[in-house]
Amino acid sequence: GSISLEPNRRKEISDLLVGVFFEDINYAADGGLYAELIQNRDFEYSLSDREGRDKSWNAMHSWSSTGGVNVIIDTTHYIHINNKHHALVNVGSAGALRNTGFDGIVLRKGQTYEFSCFSKLMNGKVVQANVKLVRPNGEVLATQKLSVSTVKWKQQSLVLKATADEDKASFEIEFTTPGVVALDMISVFPQNTFKGRKNGLRADLANVIADLHPRFIRFPGGCVAHGDGVHNIYHWKNTIGPLEARKPQRNLWGYHQTAGLGYLEYFQFCEDVGAEPVPVVAAGVPCQNSVGGQQGGIPESEMDSYVQDILDLIEFANGDGKTTWGKKRIALGHPKPFNLKYIGIGNEDLITDVFEARFVKIHEAVKRKYPDITVIGTVGPFYQGTDYVEGWKLADQLRLEMVDEHYYESPGWFIYNQDFYDRYDRSKSKVYLGEYASHLPGRPNNLETALSEAIYLTALERNGDVVTMASYAPLLAKEGHTQWNPDMIYFNNQSVTTTPGYEVQRMFSVHGGNEYISSNTVIDHRDNAVMKRIGTSVVYDRKTGDVIIKVVNLLPVQCDLKINLNELLMGEVPAKLITLTGEPGEKNLRPQEKDIRLSRDRVYAFPPYSLSVIRYRTS
């Protein structure tokens, strides 16, 4: 067979094609990317987070007391109305308040950890304590003295340095004198967060995401963005400012969101990895417009204020010091605007009258005030392709600039629908493929699923004039705490495991381009089923002057292809060949990179079950 490049048939394609979708699902945020080590630091866990299924899920979750220490949860003396629960600790005789973290606390020898908490005396007697990080056998690995001496809430912080490695440490406040104290926002944060940011991200996880070189980051969901009821909608204003004043809430995936990883941290992360921020806000309706099974949305009478919140978000991101929300961002320590260009309104919502009325209102208001911001609408859920009809009707009517499509399908679907976007009308809205992944029974992320995504990505590159962005979903999953599989990156407290799907995303992201060069692929075996299992695409990256050829071989046999570079290569040049290959069921694979010589019309062997990238410089 052969691939013949047609250098005169080129088109401009999106240079934002591959990005990431971040949602707090599978413990992606608290207990995951957000580096806080204390679980339930705010004592705000509540039975309702898990719909009453787990009786231990209450304000004392992860906490216990020992010896003469008695703890009750109180809501009367709160630091902030958004965070009412706090611990009232009655110290009769020596004892401790203990937290076991998220499945234990990982300590590394020589690393420093910042402890902080709010405390106040309840009966006027100064209380002395030691804060400690301890092994399961009680051995102390770090300790500092703490004195509670004020009758008003006071925040204190101390640095703890671990003297040894431990994967299952716990945190203790050991009380050495009697008295009664109130405690809240008890936090232990590693100081080696990603880029050293305060209230920052777990460095190893953030680095693996950064290594994807995502062109954009979508946040905070997914379903988390619109919640599963009007009262569960994610409101960005509740997630900025002092941690004790942020508004924690139930995560619809069955746990708790502290909002410690909030809008400022999301924007900061985008900036730190060089990705365009793509916040997605609810279109005034919750998941599938549901409120206890009924259709519903934010009441009409509250919509003006909700629309204002969305306008304020744009001002928060982009406004200068003369604007109310720009001033707030500056006060929070970020003088430079975040240069927000995109905003998603709605997530996979049913296109009902309730949705439509609210969406139209938000869209109009955003475009009126910020004509340069691209509004990304939603075309609803995808069931055998039929349900986009209403969504696209609305998109056409409103002449939306971009719509968000989602689908989770089998490898066969991705292989047989490579022409999905070939058929799209170029005069209509652009597409953000906001969620997609290839699903097999048992939901693995293996080479088979990854290569079916890779073959689809060659089609997305070919359609990069209509598909502006695409993000695999979901991004993160904590082992033992998944509500959804497959995911792109798995992790536990100690380590991070990438998947074949991750490697595919990375190969397409790192080796993306901004011009698509047409090519003609001819396979010797002219059987449709065989041809569908070979995917090719060629892009040109103007920044580097590189031509990048991608070949996906989903056949169980090697595929020999002559690459006719035509006028794109005169003689012979050095090139890089990066190959991801293995058995279809394999889950632990890395691409291999080698230097090759590339010349016109040479035959290259593409191994069975592989994605290959050939990259060379033209000038």
Closest CA to 485 of 379, 589, 553, 587: 587
What is the smallest separation between the CB atom of 278 and ligand AHR, expressed in angstroms?
A: 14
348 binds ligand AHR (CB under 6 A): yes
What is the smallest separation between the CB atom of 437 and ligand AHR, expressed in angstroms?
A: 8
| 355/286 Cα distance (integer angstroms) | 9
548 binds ligand AHR (CB under 6 A): no
What is the smallest separation between the CB atom of 237 and ligand AHR, expressed in angstroms?
A: 22
Closest CA to 346 of 487, 468, 216, 227: 227
Q: 3-class secondary structure for 90-156?
A: EEEEEEEEEECECCEEEECCCCEEEEEEEEEECCCCCEEEEEEEECCCCCEEEEEEEEECCCCCEEE
23 binds ligand AHR (CB under 6 A): yes
222 binds ligand AHR (CB under 6 A): yes
**Separation of CA 530 from chain center:** 36
Rg (CA), the chain: 27
Q: Tell me the pairing of strands 166-175 and 249-251.
A: unpaired
Of 23, 172, 348, 461, the catalytic one is 348
404 binds ligand AHR (CB under 6 A): no
487 binds ligand AHR (CB under 6 A): no
What is the smallest separation between the CB atom of 475 and ligand AHR, expressed in angstroms?
A: 9
Q: Which stretch binds ligand AHR (CB under 6 A): 58-66, 217-225, 457-465, 587-595?
A: 217-225
344 binds ligand AHR (CB under 6 A): no
24 binds ligand AHR (CB under 6 A): no
221 binds ligand AHR (CB under 6 A): yes
**Is 348 labeled as catalytic in the residue annotation?**
yes
453 binds ligand AHR (CB under 6 A): no
| 113/101 Cα distance (integer angstroms) | 14
Residue 45 DSSP SS3: coil
Residue type, 153: W
Among the listed residues 95, 284, 474, 501, the single contact to ligand AHR using CB under 6 A = 474
473 binds ligand AHR (CB under 6 A): yes
286 binds ligand AHR (CB under 6 A): no
What is the smallest separation between the CB atom of 288 and ligand AHR, expressed in angstroms?
A: 9
Among the listed residues 24, 276, 435, 503, the single contact to ligand AHR using CB under 6 A = 435
484 binds ligand AHR (CB under 6 A): yes
Burial 24-42, CB ≥16 within 10 A → b, else e: bbbbbbbbbbbbbbbbbbb
Among the listed residues 17, 223, 489, 614, the single contact to ligand AHR using CB under 6 A = 223
What is the smallest separation between the CB atom of 487 and ligand AHR, expressed in angstroms?
A: 9
What is the smallest separation between the CB atom of 253 and ligand AHR, expressed in angstroms?
A: 8
403 binds ligand AHR (CB under 6 A): no
Query: What distance, in Å, lies between the first and last C-alpha atoms of the chain?
Result: 28
Q: Cis before residue 277, ω within 30 degrees of 0?
A: no
Q: Which stretch binds ligand AHR (CB under 6 A): 178-186, 195-203, 221-229, 533-541?
A: 221-229
Closest CA to 114 of 180, 197, 204, 44: 197
How many H helices and E strands in the chain?
11, 33
Contact between 125 and 90 under an 8 Å Cβ cutoff? The reply is: no
| Per-residue tokens: 272 | 């730190």
* CB closer to ligand AHR, 200 vs 474: 474
DSSP state of 554: -
What is the smallest separation between the CB atom of 342 and ligand AHR, expressed in angstroms?
A: 17
347 binds ligand AHR (CB under 6 A): yes
Contact flags string 406-425 toward ligand AHR, x per CB under 6 A? x-------------------
* Phi, psi of 354, rounded to the nearest 5 degrees: -60, -45
Q: Which stretch binds ligand AHR (CB under 6 A): 28-36, 216-224, 236-244, 501-509?
A: 216-224
Q: Which stretch binds ligand AHR (CB under 6 A): 33-41, 116-124, 219-227, 368-376?
A: 219-227
| Per-residue tokens: 611 | 């994605």
What is the smallest separation between the CB atom of 290 and ligand AHR, expressed in angstroms?
A: 13
* CB closer to ligand AHR, 162 vs 437: 437
Contacts of 444 (CB under 8 A, 6+ apart): 485, 486, 585, 587
Number of neighbours of residue 592 by Cβ within 10 angstroms: 10
* CB closer to ligand AHR, 115 vs 342: 342
Catalytic center residues: 348
Q: Report the interface residues with ligand AHR, using CB under 6 A.
A: 23, 25, 221-223, 347-348, 406, 435, 473-474, 484
